[in-house]
Homo-oligomer: A and B are copies of this chain.
C-alpha cells in the first residue's frame, strides 16, 4: 500500500508487485485534528479502500507513507512538517500501531522520485533529479538507484538554492530562493505585478487565478502570460544547469507545472538550459516531463515498502 500524506489531501492506493495501482482514494487532510486525528482519518481511509477494492488486510504486506517535510526514516520520526504543524513526531511507530502493518516513512518528494524511477519517466535512468513545480518547488534526487539524502539529511532542496543576492523573500526566511522566482505561486505573483503596472492580458486579476489559467491563456497566445512563463523557465533553467554542472545526473525530470504546460514551459526551459550549459554540455542531458502526475507519491511509497519488507 502506498500513502501520500499532504497538507491538503491524503492519497492512498493498493499497488501490486508490478507497480500498478489496483484501487485508490483521496480525501482532504483533517490537519486541525492534530497528529492523532490524522492517524484516525488514515485508519478509516485504509478500511474504506480495502472494502471498496475487496482486498483483505492480510493481503497487504506493508505500507509506505510519504510526508511533506524532513523525515528520519531510520528512526521513523518526522523531524519537521510545517504544513501539518508536526515536529519530532514518532510517526512510524504510531502508524504501525493503528494499521497493524509494517510501515516505512520518507519525505514525499523522495517518494515521488522513487515512483518515477519504478514506473514513470525515470525508468531508464539510475541517477536523476525530479523537480516538481507547484506552490513551492520540490525536488528529489536518485543516485545509482537510491534516494540521495546527503549529509544534511533532506536530500535536494532545489527550491531553496539562491539565484541572486537580495532577491525576493522566501517563506524559508532566505532571499532569492528559486522558489520565489519559478514556482507556480511566484509566476502568478509576477503576472499580477505586471498587470498592476498596466500591462495588457486577456486574463484579469482575480484571487483564484492560478498557473493553470496562465498556461491556458499563454497557449491561446496571450503575450503577458507567455512572458511570465518564460521568465520562470529562465530561472529554473539556470538552476538546472548549475545542478548539471556540479552533479551531472543522467536526466532531469520535471513534474507539476512544466509537465502540465507541455512545450509552452518545457521548450524555453530546454532552450535556456542549453544556453547556460554552453560548451559544457558534452553530451545530451534529457529534460523530460514526469509521467505519473500526483500518483507518483503513492507508487513510490509502495515501492519503498516493498523494498524494505521484501
- By a beta-carbon cutoff of 8 Å, the part of chain A in contact with chain B is 70, 79, 127, 139, 141, 143, 148-158, 160-162, 164-165, 172-174, 234, 238, 241-251, 276, 278-283, 285
Contact = CB atoms under 8 A, between A and B. Distances in A.
A279 B172 contact: yes
A173 B278 contact: yes
Contact of A282 (B70, B143, B276): B70
A275 to B, nearest CB: 9
Nearest to A237: B162
With most chain B CB atoms within 10 A of its CB, the pick from A79, A148, A248 is A248
A117 to B, nearest CB: 15
28 contacts: A70-B282, A139-B246, A148-B247, A149-B248, A150-B247, A151-B249, A151-B250, A151-B251, A151-B283, A152-B245, A152-B248, A152-B280, A152-B281, A153-B248, A153-B283, A155-B248, A156-B246, A157-B245, A157-B246, A161-B242, A162-B242, A162-B276, A164-B164, A165-B234, A165-B238, A173-B279, A174-B279, A243-B246
B152 A127 contact: no
Given A157-B280, A278-B173, A152 B246 contact: no
Contact of A278 (B158, B172, B238): B172
Contact of A154 (B70, B249, B282): B282
Given A162-B241, A165-B238, A242-B162, A156 B276 contact: no
Contacts of A165: 234, 238
Given A151-B127, A242-B162, A172 B249 contact: no
